[in-house]
A = this chain, B = another copy of it.
Amino acid sequence: MSRWEPNAQGRLQRAAVELFLERGFEQTTVAEIAKRAGLTERTFFRYFSDKREVLFWGSEALQETLVRAIHEAPPSLAPIDAAAAAVEAVAALFDGRHEHARLRARIVAAHAELQERDLKKMASLRSALADALRRRGVAEHPASLTADLGIAVFQNAFVRWVGGTGDQTLAQVARDSLRELKAVAAGGT
């Protein structure tokens, strides 16, 4: 029962997303997710605290990647370009996960409770990004505004990527979003 299971986490995530789409998020139980994945409830709870967490797993890693990328960006980079480098580093975490991200986005879009959780996650990422920029020496308000721009690029790119075919990586789409954001800010359309 408690033996090591190969890729248990990935199997639980896939099983959860399948069941949420088939039966609805509310109607699906942890027992059903574990069963579909061929695992026990005990194994489920080794990875996730509840069924909602399956959809938000990886948020901490994402934030750590973002902050580390800001620290590692060359000092000569302008704040907006350091933020862009951090967004690309985060985007790389989604390589090979287009189908999962697409299905997850459908589930989140259908539930106010999950959308709120997404909003909070983005607000927390935004604060972490602003703080990391300040530690780089960027002043209070420019750091805050740069973080807003970085999160806007990430969210815009994510929506485009999830709604697309997945032929491009999220990082490639993020570069397009950044280019458009700069054009819009400069007074273009």
- In contact, B119 and A149 (Cβ under 8 angstroms): no
* Interface residue A106 (Cβ < 8 Å from any Cβ of B): no
B189 close to A182 (CB less than 8 A) = no
Given A119-B119, A119-B123, A186-B185: A141 and B180 interface contact (C-beta under 8 Å): yes
Task: Looking at the assembled complex, report how far the CB atom of A116 sits from the nearest CB atom of chain B, in whole angstroms.
Answer: 6
Complex copy number for this chain: 2
A21 within 8 A of B: no
Given B79, B144, B181, which contacts A145 in the complex, CB threshold below 8 Å? B181
How far apart sit A148 and B80, CA to CA, in the bound complex (Å)? 15
Name, among A119, A152, A185, A187, the residue most crowded by chain B CB atoms within 10 Å (CB to CB).
Answer: A185
Partner of A185, one of B120, B155, B181: B181
B187→A78 contact, CB < 8 A: yes
The tally of residues in A whose CB lies under 8 Å from a CB in B reads 34
Bound complex: CA A106 to CA B95 (Å): 41
Q: Which residues of chain A (35-76) have a CB below 8 Å from chain B?
A: none
A-B contact pairs, 6 of them (CB 8 A): A78-B188, A80-B184, A119-B119, A142-B184, A149-B152, A185-B186
Extra contacts besides A78-B188, A148-B155 (13): CB < 8 Å: A78-B187, A79-B189, A80-B187, A119-B120, A119-B123, A138-B189, A141-B160, A141-B180, A144-B159, A148-B148, A149-B149, A182-B186, A185-B185
